Structure 1
Amino acid sequence: MVDYTIILDRFDVAIRLGIHPHEAEPQRVRLSVRMTVAYAAAPSADTIAEVLDYDFLRDGVHRLAAGPGFALQESLVEAIADLCLADPRVQRVQVRSMKLDVYPDARVGCEIVRAR
């Protein structure tokens, strides 16, 4: 087995996230995702068919962002981790979310690690 870490970093999306009335509208959230992916062997033909095409993750997050939203960052990162772990090659995932505009002097975030 060969393990690779696939990284989607500084992915900014507008999503409804929060419990306060002012958070009813989408707000900027920065996401970072790290997936440890196990392959039977290292890619040899240099084709996407040999590896995990990370477009599924970006597209899936956009679908989540277009949905009804989340009350909690914990729920958001769980949903993204579930999306990643739906592919059996993903052995471990680390997801971080950061609300960028909640406070003028700080960002507020949540991080989760899930593994098979």
Structure 2
Amino acid sequence: MHEGSCLCGAVRFRVEGELPSPNACHCSKCRKHSGHCFVSTEVAKNALTVEGGEHVTWYRSAEKVRRGFCSACGSSLFFDPPHRDWIAIAMGAFDGPTGTRMNLHIFVADKGDYYDIADGLPQNAQ
């Protein structure tokens, strides 16, 4: 089991089972939502338990996706395509070690010009 929270602790969550390798999304929407690239892991929705869900505000950033953040402290927490059986959780919100290693960079064609990606991981333009 892996646990995490927002910055102020109003939203806490648990994920049952192992966490899949995270990806870093460099699209402009993820950068605006998180302040940089959004590194997240995709878990089955039925593996996620959220406490303090009344403090999660959902913003529909595209027709098929919404983003969840804490309404008290503003922490970016979730990327949720409601039509899918998975939800992405921000890696920075997990407490303690996750036992994972980043897997891939996506939407690198849209990345900011202020940084380079030089970690040797695969990079997908889209």
- Give the TM interval when normalised to the shorter protein: under 0.3
TM-score by length of 2: 0.23
TM-score by length of 1: 0.24
Flag the structure with larger Rg. Answer: 1
